[in-house]
Structure 1
């Protein structure tokens, strides 16, 4: 009996999970894990995303189901229309994972308007619109649901040359709290995860930098880079049917970086 209860409260069997950024390093690991837990994956991605086929293979390798829909996250109308097409296809709003994100490093005085526009469009505006469209559908159906936003340790601690990125991830943290405050009474839970320094294609240039690695070994008590798989337990908890009272929270997965 206990075993059935435990498996039930963490199972995503029969659920649908909408992802942005599922073709990225963190997103593909989470989408694959959700598929293994029983969820059908709906991936919002660019039509010419070179990693689209890899994601499809990864989900199918774990016997999961995936539907890939196309839009430009930087275009609000394209994103809103994408959600309309998702609902018209008969998909149910149950879980949303906003994992899309981009990073540019530059000293504050050198940050460009193009960098500001790109990071604000992808890291902030698309997350807001995606959450808004998902929540609107839940509210219209009077149903509960779960939103998971990917924040960052830079939501708490700004590093050198990350002024724009840190600003956008700070916005994700506050956005999560704002949405959760307004929607908690409707059963819509909005939470976030703040990854630390993770081994992904986005950080590949820093992984090969011995000076950067030495710095991390001093700053991260776990004394290692994080792996995308390190986020899976936190994400599954936030998405799990047994989690009904956690909202507005941010789970920090950083090997102790923020606590030092």
Structure 2
């Protein structure tokens, strides 16, 4: 067994929202550290996806699952399947998510419900199923959520998203309180303003984009690859005494 604290050789990682953006970057980073990957996304191709090609080029195995996280029954079925695999899941990265923008006074119930289901309720359902299997196995594990700067702040025109990501911060701590004793480390990464599909509207608004850049000490929007070090750390033995933490990766935004 390797003594390198960041070595993930022989580990199996499930990464949701793996088709593009942060999830794709995190899946590739885990593969580069030695993990085999099960990628999950609503529209992930069964074969031949870009993330699959990259993971396999790194010498790791990849398998795909297409699951809509707005469908709780589908997520429950995914959790049941993953919990009973012959090869157990060592790492779960809960990254699937969506965002809907509308002022709070005009924010319809259906958008609120959609965002809470995808970004919070389904995250709990999947974590519960895999966490239960990790406890029964008795060999620990790593569960990593994608939180947000809006886990700490309120945002503008995204009340459902802010509520869900605040909930993720609380869920991270709640699960850690119960599962750390079983050797299961539950933590979250809070990305800053990253150049992905979710932030396209902000980046296309010159005044908002400039206001955001003016506050980031690093002086740039983040890239999906900026999540690599954090996810490998939280997935690896290097973080065995880190639990219940929400780790900002934000170019210094929270320190400003």
Give the TM-score taking structure 1 as reference length.
0.92
SS at match of 1:198: coil
User: Which residue does 1:109 correspond to in 2?
Assistant: 105
Work out the number of aligned pairs and report it: 254
Q: Quote the offset at 1:50 in angstroms.
A: 6.4
User: Which residue does 1:91 correspond to in 2?
Assistant: 87
Match of 2:139 among 143, 146, 167: 143
Q: Quote the offset at 1:205 in angstroms.
A: 2.9
Map 1:14-29; keep pairs closer than 5 Å.
Answer: 14-29=10-25
Task: Identify which range, 190-199 or 160-169, moves more after superposition.
Answer: 160-169
User: Which residue does 1:162 correspond to in 2?
Assistant: 158
User: Which residue does 1:203 correspond to in 2?
Assistant: 199
CA displacement 1:22-75 (0-9 Å, x = unmatched): 1130000010011111100011222x4469722222322333211112333222
SS at match of 2:9: coil
Q: Quote the offset at 1:239 in angstroms.
A: 0.6
**Root mean square deviation of aligned Cα:** 1.7
Map 1:41-60; keep pairs closer than 5 Å.
Answer: 41-46=37-42, 48-49=43-44, 53-60=49-56
Q: Runs of 4+ in structure 1 displaced over 6 angstroms?
A: none
Name the CA distance, whole Å, in 1 between partners of 2:75 and 2:160: 23
Provide structure 1 residue ranges, at least 5 long, that are not aligned to the other structure: none
Task: Identify which range, 158-167 or 74-83, moves more after superposition.
Answer: 74-83
User: Which residue does 1:131 correspond to in 2?
Assistant: 127
Give the TM-score taking structure 2 as reference length.
0.93
Provide structure 2 residue ranges, at least 5 long, that are not aligned to the other structure: none
Cα gap change, 1:84 to 1:159, in 2 (>3 Å): closer
